Each structure stands twice: as C-alpha cells, then as structure tokens.
Amino acid sequence: MLTPKGRGSLSEVVFEAMRGAAPSWRRALHTLPDTDEDLQITLWALYEMHYRGFEDVDEALEWQPELIELRRSLETTFEQDLRERIPHASPDGEFAEAFFGFVADHDGPSLATFVHREADHEQTLELLRMRSIYHLKESDPSAWLVPRLPDATKAALMELQFDEYGCGDVNRLHARMFARGMDDCGLRPEYGAYIDDVPLEVLEENNAMSLFGLNRRLRGAALGHLAAFEVTSSLPSRRMAQGLGRLGLAPSMIDYYAEHVEADAVHEQLAVRTICGSLLAEEPAQRDEIFFGAATCLDLEDRFARRMLQTWAA
Amino acid sequence: MTSPDEAGRQERPEQPDVILCADGPMLVRGDHVVQDADGGLHRTTRPISAICRCGKSGVPPWCDATHKVIPRRSA
C-alpha cells in the first residue's frame, strides 16, 4: 500500500515528509489540521506505521520521535472528542446481564438491515469497500492488547483471537476470507486499497480501535469495544449474508458473513463473560472504561450508518 | 492444613469444558460430535462452540444469537 491522498494541510505535509529523503519534521509538527478528516487520515497513516506500513515510507520511521509526538497530539484530541460524545454513567448490576442489556437497549440505524431488504448492488459493493479497511486487518487492533492484560484475560482473549486468525489455517483467517470475498465480488482485495474512498466516519472507527489497542491505559476501553463489536455482529451478519444472497453476490463473501453468524455467537459470550469478566475480576475499576469503549463502538457505527443511509437516500 | 494437592488445586482453578450462559447458549470447548433432536450428527469446527439452548436457532445445533430477539420468559 502507498501513503493515502492528503485531505488537508496537515496530512499533505506529513505524508510528504514521511515519503521524503530529507524530511522537514518541524513543518509537519507545526501544521494544524484543516478539518476532522485531515486529522483522522493523518492519524490513520501514523497508526498504520505500526501495522503493515507503506511501500513508499521507510519502515525505520515507525518510531521516529516527531511522528510519535504528532500521533500523541492527534490522538489526545481524538480521545477527548470520543469521551465528550459518550454519557458518563455506566449501568449497574451483574456485568454480563448489564452489558448485554446496554447493547440491546441501544437503538441505532442498521446498515445490515438496509442490505438485507433494500440496498442495490452498487450500494452493497460500496459498503464492502468501506468495511474492507477494517476487515482486511480484522482482529489486529485487539492483538496489541495481549501482552498488556492480566493472565486470565490474556488466556481468554487468545481463545477468541485464535479463532479469528483461523486456528492455524490461513484460509480460515477472517481477514483472508474477506479478501477472497472482495476478489470474487470484483473488488480490490489488497490491504488498504480503498483508503482514499472512505469518509471520516470509517477513519474514526478504525482509529478508535488503534487508539484503544496501542495505549495500555485504555485496555478496558479496548475490551469493551471488542465486546460491543462482537455482541452486534452475529444477528447483523445473518442479515448481511441474506442480503448478499438476495443480490446474487459471490458465495465466498456470503460465506464470510455466514461464518460470522456462528463464530460471533460464540465470541460475544467469550468477549463479555470470559474476557471482560476476567478483567473486571482482577481490575474492578475498569468497569466504566469497558462501558466507554462499548458506547464508543456503538456510537461510531451509528455515525457511519447515518452517513451511508443519508448518502444513499439523496 | 491443606495438603499439597489441595493447595495445587487452589492455585489452579479448573477450566470448565462447558459453560452455560444465562439466557444464552451452552459453550463447549474442544472437539465434539453433537447429536441434534432429529438424530443428525454435527462435528464442532472451532476451538469453542456455542450450542443453541433456546430452540430457535436458524443453524441448529449451533447458536446464531436468535435468543436475543426472543422475548424473555418472566420469572
């Protein structure tokens, strides 16, 4: 993957510096983002340096102090925004029941329901392009957490991650299954191929996962996000599979969603009970952070769904 | 006094093979062949599997989270 297109003054200056032989870090550090989108695409690229990186950027820059300084500054702003969007109170009661109830009570727009009943072929392909930014690195942000957790939580998370990563079989690796589906739908299966096409909301969804995964102090939020993601996956995945079937899309893409119906019916129980549950047994003070992460996951998906439904209704 | 055996067990609480989830499925760890109500046999395919307990799953004997959209019985 090459560096994305700039979306404003900051991203243009930073990406140019990242690609350059003799970069001007000072200029990169002293440029302010023009818009939220400019900030988010810059942050996305800075996080990407810790995943697979860019063919046009020297991989030695992963820990370039100026890029880390810039990342810290942008992610501080982003985290403050996320916290301001979310109500502070978290529900009382036994954790698993409270958590499932919290997600069930959330009433947001559903892209899966739209694909199930109404979306046309082009709208569905557009959604798959948007989803590809995450699904082609599926579970990678949660992998950052593993060494940062108490033993019981680490073991529980790995039980889930092992399944996500195909239990040792690369063909069952979820990201690989999605790539195969993209290819069979006539879409580009390469990692990050559609980054220039995605709106602000997709960048925020992806950056929130990296923010939570890469900061140990946010481990509770990361696991809460993971749990909310899993709890809102199984039923919508069935709607997606049925919608893709209605439109006659590639069986391999239908298989990807069908796999998530069963897998995430397991994963939602693990994420809430054994993963978040064990963290809370060890660190009860993480409860509010778990709910912050969960609420963020739901809120960001609502924003993305509203954006897409508005675009398609226009 | 606890014997060394008992102390060992206390340090290593047993990992359950089966977990019953309140208002949810039964999780089973490891390889199993599950017989459904009609006698059909289904081999588990993942390290831990969720078996439907509400009877409404679209992919029996596995859970597909349908239990979440069924009205809960009042106690």
Buried-exposed string A234-263: b where 16+ CB fall within 10 A, e elsewhere: bbbbbbbbbbbeeeebbebbbbbbbbbbbb
A167 and A18 within one domain: no
Q: Which domain holds residue B31?
A: 17-69
Return the SS3 of B42: strand
Q: What is the pLDDT of residue A314?
A: 79
Q: Is residue B74 part of a domain?
A: no
- What single-letter amino acid sits at A124? T
Domain end among A29, A60, A84: A84
Q: Which domain holds residue A247?
A: 91-313
Show which of residues 273-312 on chain A sit within 8 Å of chain B, judged by CB atoms.
273-274
A268 and A189 within one domain: yes
**Residue B23 to chain A, least CA–CA distance (Å):** 9
Q: Is residue A120 part of a domain?
A: yes
Q: Is residue B33 part of a domain?
A: yes
A102 and A47 within one domain: no
Q: Is residue A3 part of a domain?
A: no
A269 and A187 within one domain: yes
**Residue B1 to chain A, least CA–CA distance (Å):** 27
Residues forming beta bridges with residue B18, ordered by sequence position: B28
- Lowest mean pLDDT, pick from A108-112, A222-226, A239-243, B36-40: B36-40
A197 and A113 within one domain: yes
Contact A265 B22 (CB under 8 A): no
Tell me the residue ranges of DSSP E strands in chain A.
none
B64 part of contact set with chain A, CB < 8 Å: yes
**Residue A272 to chain B, least CA–CA distance (Å):** 11
| Residue range A145-165: mean pLDDT, rounded | 96
Contact B47 A163 (CB under 8 A): yes
Domain end among A84, A108, A133: A84
A131 part of contact set with chain B, CB < 8 Å: no
Residue A198, token pair as written in the block: 């995605």
Q: What is the pLDDT of residue A87?
A: 81
Segments of chain B with pLDDT less than 50: 75
* pLDDT beyond 80 at A64: yes
Asked if residues A107 and A299 have their Cβ atoms less than 8 Å apart, the reply is no
Q: What is the pLDDT of residue B4?
A: 54
- Closest-CA residue of B relative to A236 is B65
Q: Which of B39, B71, B29, B14 is nearest to A269 (CA)?
A: B29
Q: What is the CATH number of the domain that holds A188?
A: 1.20.910.10
Q: What is the pLDDT of residue B75?
A: 44
Domain total of chain B: 1
Counting residues of chain A whose pLDDT is more than 70, the rounded percentage is: 100
- Lowest mean pLDDT, pick from A45-54, A102-111, A122-131, B63-72: B63-72
- Closest-CA residue of B relative to A172 is B46
Domain total of chain A: 2
What are residue B21's phi and psi, to 5 degrees?
-95, 130
What are the C-alpha distances in Å from A189 to residues A1, A176, A178, A217?
12, 9, 8, 34
Pairing of strands B33-35, B41-43: antiparallel
pLDDT, averaged across chain A: 96
Counting residues of chain A whose pLDDT is more than 90, the rounded percentage is: 96
A68 and A205 within one domain: no
Residue A254, token pair as written in the block: 């239908």
Angle, vertex CA A138, rays to CA A136 and CA A142, nearest 5:
145
| Residue range A215-233: mean pLDDT, rounded | 97
Q: What is the pLDDT of residue B6?
A: 56
